[in-house]
């Protein structure tokens, strides 16, 4: 069966003054119905830009320069604004990383939460209100009826984040794109949201593209993981393989940088040296080379393509796949 979402050779650039700076280069991955795919990578690696492009929501300076974004076989990158509007919220819903911009300050939570259901599903106001309350409760909000009557500024950041999650789920989307949906939540609520997403995957076959920095969340929920670095995919595998046997030096460094509950606190946590290069879109060859333990002298540093050592697995580093260990 073809994937529900299939991103193929995606190229995104941003206008900076007179020139176009590539932000995402040749990114490809699939999300199947009933599957949770996690997109991970350091800040500035192109995760949000990739997600925003699916719904045509890049800022004015941003542009999809190439590739396809196939949803149910339709290339979203070629649709008009009106056509995309029919898909947004209903077929594909998104939880934005920046929640401050996602709720309208002058309308109550109830009116914002019920709007999509009335518009897209044609349900009555009363029915939408009941469903809104039910969804809020499922995200762990206790006094849902009261919260429905409040304005966004009257809620804490964590409450607003849960309202956004309820809103995204309200039209029963086939695909949910969630950009850091649990960052403002404490661990118990985070656990509840993870369980909610899992049950929607299992019961409704909802697909999820989940962007997160939290490897604990990935371990808990993801079926497959795509690792991005400097605007490219560097590794992809099923979650278990990726977490237990990461191959690419960047993925391995990411895993080493995850704090563990029982770590010796007198030992400093590993930090990946350096940072994502600023104008990475202009680099040739391996973009991780300046930070890689194998260093700038790596003989494979000019080889810049994804290799598939096994079905469902991709890695951009031939040396890692050769079985050599750098750690």
Ligand X SMILES: Nc1ncnc2c1ncn2[C@@H]1O[C@H](COP(=O)(O)OP(=O)(O)OP(=O)(O)O)[C@@H](O)[C@H]1O
- Positions in the binding site for ligand X (CB under 6 A): 14, 23, 41, 43-49, 59, 61-62, 97
Per partner kind, with CB cut-offs from 5 to 8 A, the member of ligand X, Mg ion, none near residue 181 is: none
State whether residue 15 is helix, strand or coil: strand
- Nearer Cβ to Mg ion (13/114): 13
Among Mg ion, ligand X, none, the one that 46 touches (CB under a kind-dependent 5 to 8 A) is ligand X
| Least separation in angstroms between CB 278 and ligand X | 7
Nearer to ligand X, 50 or 111 (CB): 50
Choose between 32 and 97: whose C-beta lies nearer to Mg ion.
97
**Is 76 in contact with 134 (CB distance < 8 Å)?**
no
Instruction: Please give the structure tokens belonging to residue 196.
Output: 């909610």
Binding residues for Mg ion, rule: CB under 5 A, are 48, 97
Q: Quick one: 14 or 29, whose CB is closer to ligand X?
A: 14
Tell which residue, 83, 315, 41, 247, has the closest CA to residue 50. Answer: 41
The first and second tokens of residue 105, run together, are 């300050």
Sign of CA dihedral 176, 179, 185, 190: positive
Q: Which does 192 bind (CB under 5 to 8 A by kind): ligand X, Mg ion, none?
A: none
Q: Closer to ligand X at the Cβ: 61 or 75?
A: 61
Residue 54 near which of Mg ion, ligand X, none (CB within 5-8 Å, type-dependent): none
> Closer to Mg ion at the Cβ: 13 or 48?
48
To the nearest whole angstrom, how small is the minimum distance from the Cβ of residue 310 to ligand X?
27
Q: How far is CA 190 from CA 126, 180, 211, 301, in A?
A: 29, 11, 14, 40
Residue with the two structure tokens 């997160």: 212
The CA distance from 307 to 316, in Å, is 6
Q: How far is the CB of 201 from Mg ion (least distance, A)?
A: 22
Q: 37 with 225: CB under 8 angstroms?
A: yes
Cβ closest to ligand X, residue 112 vs residue 212: 212
59 binds, among ligand X, Mg ion, none (CB under 5 to 8 A by kind): ligand X
Provide the minimum distance between the beta carbon of 52 and ligand X in the complex, in angstroms, as a whole number.
8
Out of Mg ion, ligand X, none, what residue 45 binds, judged by CB under 5 to 8 A for its kind, is ligand X
Half-sphere exposure of 219 (CA within 13 A, CB side): 7
The least CB distance from residue 213 to Mg ion, in Å, is 9
Question: Residue 220's CB: how many other CB atoms inside 10 A?
Answer: 16
Task: Report the partner that residue 75 touches, choosing among ligand X, Mg ion, none (CB closer than 5 to 8 A by kind).
Answer: none
Among ligand X, Mg ion, none, residue 248 binds (CB under 5-8 Å by kind): none
Q: How far is CA 104 from CA 30, 81, 327, in A?
A: 33, 21, 49
Question: Which residues neighbour 71 within 8 Å (Cβ) at sequence distance 6 or greater?
Answer: 4, 5, 6, 54, 87, 91, 92, 175
Q: What is the DSSP string of 115-165?
A: HHIIIII---HHHHHHHHHHHHHHTT-S-HHHHHTS-GGGS-HHHHHHHHH
Rounded Cα distance, 315 and 99, in Å? 33
Q: How far is the CB of 102 from ligand X (least distance, A)?
A: 15
For the CB of residue 43, give the shortest distance to Mg ion in the complex, in Å.
Answer: 7
Helix (H, G, I), strand (E, B) or coil at 37: strand
In the complex with Mg ion, the residue whose CB is nearer, 95 or 286, is 95
Shortest separation between residue 287's beta carbon and ligand X, angstroms = 12
């Amino acid at each position: 069966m073809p994937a529900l979402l299939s991103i193929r050779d995606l190229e995104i650039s941003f206008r900076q003054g007179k020139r176009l700076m590539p932000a995402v280069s040749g990114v490809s991955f699939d999300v199947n119905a009933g599957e949770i795919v996690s997109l991970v990578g350091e800040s500035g690696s192109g995760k949000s830009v990739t997600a925003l492009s699916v719904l045509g929501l890049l800022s004015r300076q941003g542009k999809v320069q190439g590739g396809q974004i196939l949803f149910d076989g339709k290339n979203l990158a070629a649709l008009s604004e009106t056509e995309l509007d029919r898909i947004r919220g209903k077929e594909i819903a998104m939880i934005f990383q920046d929640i401050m911009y996602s709720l309208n300050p002058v309308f109550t939570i109830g009116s914002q939460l019920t709007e999509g259901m009335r518009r897209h599903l044609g349900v009555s106001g009363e029915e939408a209100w009941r469903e809104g309350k039910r969804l809020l409760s499922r995200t762990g909000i206790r006094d849902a009826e009261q919260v429905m009557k409040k304005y966004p500024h009257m809620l804490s950041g964590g409450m607003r984040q849960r309202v956004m999650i309820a809103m995204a789920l309200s039209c029963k989307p086939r695909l949910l794109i969630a950009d850091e949906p649990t960052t403002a939540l404490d661990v118990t609520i985070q656990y509840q949201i993870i369980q909610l997403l899992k049950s929607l995957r299992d019961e409704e076959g909802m697909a999820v593209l989940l962007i997160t920095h939290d490897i604990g969340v990935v371990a808990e929920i993801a079926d497959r993981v795509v690792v991005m670095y400097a605007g490219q995919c560097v590794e992809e595998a099923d979650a278990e393989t990726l977490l237990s046997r990461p191959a690419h030096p960047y993925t391995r460094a990411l895993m080493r940088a995850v704090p563990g509950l029982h770590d010796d606190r007198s030992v400093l946590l590993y930090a990946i040296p350096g940072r994502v290069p600023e104008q990475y879109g202009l680099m040739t060859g391996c973009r991780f080379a300046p930070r890689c333990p194998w260093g700038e002298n790596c003989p494979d540093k000019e080889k810049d393509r994804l290799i598939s050592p096994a079905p469902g697995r991709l890695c951009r580093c031939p040396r890692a796949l050769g079985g050599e260990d750098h750690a």
